[in-house]
């Protein structure tokens, strides 16, 4: 509960996360609709441009949030996307609601959260090969 309270107090985190979640989903939606326009070069160019913008915004948000918060704290919050993507699929692409898919998405979210419990977070070797 404390986290939810903090989320409303900390507007920076709240806005950043919402934008990050939206940009992730928007990127996916753009990829999903792109096959319709394979024959229209101008539409594909426009789509690619939007995709580049989305990726750019995402990189910026990661940098901004990453400066203030631990990656292992933010990353599992993005697991919510796996559940949201189900509803985006239902709303925009008329996919059927399948309970087993929702269960799978929740399991993925649990898995992502467990990874963040790992104690190896700091890179002491700085990624250098021996």
Angle between helix 11-33 and 2-9 (nearest 10): 90
Give the residue from 28, 88, 23, 14 showing the smallest Cα distance to 53.
Answer: 23
Binding characters for another protein, 100-129, by CB under 8 A (x = yes): xx-xxxxxxxxxxxxxxxxxx--x-xxxxx
Which C-beta is closer to another protein: that of 6 or that of 70?
A: 70
Per the CB < 8 A criterion, the answer to whether 21 and 80 are in contact is yes
Tally the C-alpha atoms within 13 A of residue 113's C-alpha that lie toward its C-beta: 10
Contact set for another protein, span 16-75 (CB under 8 A): 25, 27-32, 34-35, 51, 55
**Positions in the binding site for another protein (CB under 8 A):** 25, 27-32, 34-35, 51, 55, 81-82, 85-86, 88-90, 92-93, 95, 98, 100-101, 103-120, 123, 125-130
């Amino acid at each position: 509960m404390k986290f939810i309270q903090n989320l409303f107090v900390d507007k920076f985190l709240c806005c950043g996360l919402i934008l990050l979640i939206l940009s992730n989903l928007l990127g996916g939606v753009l990829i999903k609709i792109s096959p319709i326009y394979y024959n229209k070069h101008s539409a594909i160019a426009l789509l690619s441009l939007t995709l580049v913008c989305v990726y750019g915004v995402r990189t910026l948000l990661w940098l901004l949030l990453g400066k203030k918060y631990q990656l292992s704290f933010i990353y599992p919050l993005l697991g919510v996307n796996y559940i949201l993507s189900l509803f985006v699929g239902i709303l925009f692409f008329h996919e059927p609601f399948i309970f087993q898919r929702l269960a799978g998405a929740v399991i993925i979210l649990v898995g992502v959260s467990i990874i963040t419990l790992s104690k190896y977070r700091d890179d002491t070797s700085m990624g250098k090969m021996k």
